Amino acid sequence: MPVLNERAYLEHAVASVLSQDVDGPTELVLALGPSGDGTTELAHRLAASDDRIRVVDNPAADIPVGLNLAIRASRYPTIIRVDAHSELSPGYAHLAMQTLERTGAANVGGVMRAEGRTPFQKAVARLYNSPVGLGGGAYHGSTHEGEAESAYLGVMRRSVLDEVGGFDESIRRGEDWELNLRIRQAGHLVWFDPQLAVTYWPRESWWRLARQFRATGAWRGELVRRYGRRNGLRFFAPPALVILIAVALVIGVLQSTGVLSGIGSLIASVVYLPLIAYALLVIAVAFAPGRRGLRERLWTLAVLPTMHISWGLGFVAGLFHGAHDTVDASRLGGRNTPLP
């Protein structure tokens, strides 16, 4: 479990791990980044209270670096990746190991089940769970078990991780997708089992969400630079939206200044149609039937475009200039709101 500034979530995440019922010895290795919100003290306190918990320092704070440090420090043949912003469902580890054995897969993952406490977080969680929000990857709600492109978090055979060289430490976001690409290229199977579920708690504020999605988009752009069309078509939808908006703004300026007029202006106005359709889609998603309060619906109107546009802007920057040192700044500094 890579950990950085997760004081509000860490204890719940750790408890969900320690409560797993597994036939055989287990341990939890925390890769602890330089946190400033009390996470470091909490992690060491938890480790002192249970000898199954071990702590390794991750001064770089990068997730793939922390994952490799924790894997190297671990002692057992099955590696279960856990996010400090998540909670494993009861029986997750036992069922995942059964699925590994049943399918012969190298990596097994399940459903990311996002949840929220506040109206904002609930709006984000609902969009995480929707194909409209994050593009329809299997782990965002599919009910069909089978071979997969990637796996959320993942329950992995250590022997395969050793074979492919572990996580690529030059990739700061999307490292799981890239690892699973190498696993599949090595001839192994990545498997999705919808009976496996992990609760994920999204970012708690609009600004944190925007920074998170911009960083994620930048690294997807970097992955497209490196791996081209091995990236699914769904990853190109947000940058297409950003380009459409940019073109519409230019056309709007030309029309308002009279540079573009007549039949040319009429033809150019076609660019507004997909944007109008997108706006109607956002409204339809926000006010779709369901038991949601007005504040959650209004936040959805802001959150859905924020996710897409931030991701798209990051993608364009990453595609043309590379991700370089881009990090998920939403994880750095600040204090999270404690869970009840």
pLDDT at 282 over 90: yes
Q: How confident is the model at residue 339 (pLDDT cuts 50, 70, 90)?
A: very low
Whole-number pLDDT of residue 336? 44
pLDDT at 334 over 90: no
Read off the pLDDT of residues 144-188 as tens digits, 9 standing for 90 and up: 899 999 999 999 999 999 999 999 999 999 999 999 999 999 999
Q: How confident is the model at residue 137 (pLDDT cuts 50, 70, 90)?
A: low
CB-CB contact of 318 with 217 (8 Å): yes
Read off the pLDDT of residues 260-278 as tens digits, 9 standing for 90 and up: 999 999 999 999 999 999 9
Whole-number pLDDT of residue 290? 86
CB-CB contact of 337 with 8 (8 Å): yes
| Percent over 70 (pLDDT), the chain | 95
pLDDT at 190 over 80: yes
Which pTM value belongs to this model? Answer: 0.87
CA dist., res. 47 & res. 43, Å (int): 6
pLDDT at 142 over 80: no
CB-CB contact of 37 with 64 (8 Å): no
CA dist., res. 317 & res. 313, Å (int): 6
Q: Token digits for 291?
A: 């038991």
Residues 108-126 have a mean pLDDT of: 94
CA dist., res. 76 & res. 24, Å (int): 10
Helix ranges, 104-227 (H): 119-128, 131-134, 158-164, 175-185, 206-227
End-to-end CA distance of the chain: 22
Read off the pLDDT of residues 319-331 as tens digits, 9 standing for 90 and up: 999 998 888 777 6
CB-CB contact of 288 with 301 (8 Å): no
In a domain? residue 2: no
CA dist., res. 138 & res. 149, Å (int): 9
In a domain? residue 240: yes
In a domain? residue 210: no
Q: How confident is the model at residue 140 (pLDDT cuts 50, 70, 90)?
A: low
CA dist., res. 252 & res. 257, Å (int): 9
In a domain? residue 69: no
In a domain? residue 122: no
Q: How confident is the model at residue 129 (pLDDT cuts 50, 70, 90)?
A: confident
In a domain? residue 199: no
pLDDT at 333 over 70: no
Give me the domain span that covers residue 230: 226-331
In a domain? residue 16: no
In a domain? residue 245: yes
Torsion of CA 92, 64, 32, 94, to 10 degrees: 10
Q: How confident is the model at residue 133 (pLDDT cuts 50, 70, 90)?
A: confident
Q: How confident is the model at residue 340 (pLDDT cuts 50, 70, 90)?
A: very low
CA dist., res. 306 & res. 214, Å (int): 9
Q: Domains in the chain: how many in total? A: 1
